[in-house]
Structures are given as C-alpha cells and as structure tokens.
Amino acid sequence: MKNNELSALSNAGNILYDMTLEELWALFPIIIVPYNPEWTAWYEEERNNLLTLLEKETVRISHIGSTAVKGLAAKPTVDILLEITDIADITEITNKLISEDWLIMSQSEEPKLKFSFNKGYTPNGFADKVYHLHVTRKNDPDELYFRDYLIARQDVAKEYEKLKYGLKEKFKHNRDGYTEAKTEFISKQTKAAKQESKKDAKRNDQERKRI
C-alpha cells in the first residue's frame, strides 16, 4: 500500500493525527500497573471481533506482550498479533480495521509486511480498554518465543518487570525511548528462548526414536 493511500485512510476526521509526537507522548504516558486478570478477557473479546471481521484473511491470532503473562506487571494495553495469509490484501484489511475504529500507528511492507494499529487512544487520553494490533504475514514470530519464555521462566519475567518499572519514570513521555531501552533485554531472552526450543525439539525427537 502506498503512503498516500494510508494517509487518506488514516487521517479522516481524527484529531490525533494532527498532534505532534510530543503532544501524543504527553497525552499517552508510559504507565506500568500490576497484572490484571481481566486482560485475558479483553483479548478474547477483541479476538472474536477480529475473527468476525477478517475470518478469510486470518491464519492465526495470538495474545502477546506482558499482558499475556500471568502475574507480570505491564502497560494496561493488550497486544495482539494477527498473522494473515500470503494472498490477503493489506489495503482491504486496513479499510476494514479503520471501519472498526482502529488507527494506524505504523506500516512497512519491506523486507517483511508489518503494520501496527491501535484502539483506545482518544483525544482525551486512554479509553478504558486499550489495544495494539500487530499485523504480519504467517511466519515464526519472535513475539511468541519471548512470551512463552516469560511464562515458563518466572525469574526472567520478574527481571523484565523490574526493568520496566525502572524505565517508566525515565521515559514516561518518550515512548520510543522506552521501547528502545527494552530492546537488548528482549533480544537476549528471545535468543535464549529459541535455543531452548531447539533443545526441546531435539530431545523430543530422540525420545520418539527410542520408542
């Protein structure tokens, strides 16, 4: 999709697109709160909405990010990963999402398709329920490795929680800085998760051969 096509779809009547980055960061600060078990219900609610809207285009929908990890403090924003088919039309998908009040955050088609949307961002601040939607083609996403590793390794999850609490004041009004400051930790743990997954697969294969 061309940038001007996205602009026409995104900017229609939405005051948020007229705000500067600094104004947006001031309106939507970094907030970390204790784990809320209702986050799972938020995810299920929006998952059902997305399946109804994009049933033919969808390969898999996953709850990712910290709100998917029981007991982990997080930004009260439910992250959803939507993997679409190789032939799905991203322009059509974008139109459908915008019709359901999703706003485009970012978009890239090279080297891999990656579109981000949000819901629950209003001119008055956060709504009661806030979502980020990450749209990609079907692949082997790092986000699932990282999520599952945090679920399996409580010590790593607590280390991540400590890191986020330490960063939230420093980057309260700098979302890009907050994200960048977490990148090294996430990359390191994702690499460890993949190595662990390979070991498990090899171990399972050896056990099958012995049967």
Q: What is the pLDDT along the chain (211 residues), one digit of tens a residue?
A: 444 434 434 444 478 888 999 999 999 999 999 999 999 999 999 999 999 999 999 999 999 999 999 999 999 999 999 999 999 999 999 999 999 999 999 999 888 999 999 999 999 999 999 999 999 999 999 999 999 999 999 999 999 999 999 999 999 999 999 999 999 999 999 999 999 999 877 767 666 666 6
| Residue ranges in the chain assigned as alpha helix (H) | 3-10, 21-27, 38-53, 90-99, 142-152, 154-168, 175-210
d(C-alpha 32, C-alpha 45), whole Å: 22
Rounded (to 5) percent helix, strand, coil in the chain: 50, 20, 25
Compute the C-alpha angle 152/156/158, nearest 5°. Answer: 110
How, if at all, do strands 78-84 and 125-137 pair? parallel
Q: Which residues are within 8 A (CB) of 148 and not within 5 positions of it... i.e. 6 or more apart?
A: 193
Tell the residue number behind the tokens 């977490």, with chain if given: 182
d(CA 44, CA 60): 13
pLDDT at 15: 84
Show me where the domains of the chain are located: 3-210
Number of Cβ within 10 Å of residue 178's Cβ equals 20
Measure Cα distances from 190 to 34, 36, 101, 195 in Å: 23, 24, 32, 9
DSSP state for residue 28 in the 8-state scheme: S
168: region left, alpha or beta (phi > 0 left; psi from -120 to 50 alpha): alpha
Q: What is the DSSP letter of 86?
A: T
Nearest CA among 31, 18, 3, 14 for reference residue 126 = 31
| Third-level CATH fold of 3-210 | Beta Polymerase; domain 2 (3.30.460)
